[in-house]
């Protein structure tokens, strides 16, 4: 049930001559790989919720106690050998609306009125010991594929706290 396996550090590309480092990486244990999976069980949703609570609490942000299963929410999580290291939730628009409607209702309403199919990325959390551009890129890429390609959304929205813009610029 793994969606993708992503190397923690991208492999160097061997050009023209055999690079001994590439050979070593091919045979290295899978300790440096992330596996991206759907959080499609209670245990996986609880692990994702725990990571979110842990990462958000140190900043003083409040979160829901547990991630309830909802038909318009899809949570994906990246795992390494020690457990979950990253998560993001895709919110698909529904009659119940989206979290983004709380602060940006007019903007979302305008997109809907123009016939756009909107989705949001929420509850992004990455373990502080797993700062990896490939990890964050994989989470966003798979979330994009899910929302855009599988669910035909035309616009993907994300709220970014102004204090976090430097993080997103650096990591993406």
Instruction: Tell me if 22 sits within 8 A of 12, measured CB to CB.
Output: yes
The pLDDT score that the predictor gives to residue 30 is 52
Mean pLDDT of 38-64: 84
Q: Which helix or strand (DSSP H or E) is residue 21 part of? A: helix 20-27
Q: Report helix, strand or coil for 60.
A: coil
Instruction: Tell me if 134 sits within 8 A of 4, measured CB to CB.
Output: no
pLDDT classification of 15: cutoffs 50, 70, 90: very low
pLDDT classification of 99: cutoffs 50, 70, 90: very high
pTM for this prediction: 0.79
Query: Helices (DSSP H) in 83-162: which residue ranges?
Result: 101-113, 133-144
Reading the block at residue 47, the tokens are 């692990």
Mean pLDDT (the chain) is 82
Whole-number Cα distances in Å, 65 to 48, 56, 57, 145, 162: 11, 12, 12, 28, 25
Q: Report helix, strand or coil for 75.
A: strand
Mean pLDDT of 114-136: 88
Q: Report helix, strand or coil for 41.
A: coil
């Amino acid at each position: 049930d793994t969606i993708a396996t992503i190397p923690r550090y991208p492999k160097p590309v061997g050009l023209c001559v055999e690079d001994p480092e590439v050979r070593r990486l091919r045979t290295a244990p899978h300790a440096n790989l992330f596996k991206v999976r759907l959080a499609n069980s209670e245990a996986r949703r609880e692990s994702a919720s725990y990571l979110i609570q842990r990462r958000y609490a140190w900043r003083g942000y409040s979160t829901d106690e547990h991630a309830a299963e909802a038909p318009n929410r899809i949570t994906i999580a990246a795992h390494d050998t020690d457990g979950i290291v990253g998560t993001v939730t895709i919110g698909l628009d529904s009659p119940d609306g989206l979290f983004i409607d709380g602060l940006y209702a007019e903007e979302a309403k305008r997109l809907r009125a123009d016939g756009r199919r909107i989705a949001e990325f929420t509850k992004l959390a990455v373990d502080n010991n797993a700062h990896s551009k490939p990890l964050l890129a994989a989470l966003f890429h798979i979330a994009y594929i899910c929302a855009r390609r599988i669910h035909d959304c035309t616009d993907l929205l994300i709220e970014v706290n102004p204090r976090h813009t430097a993080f997103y610029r650096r990591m993406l």
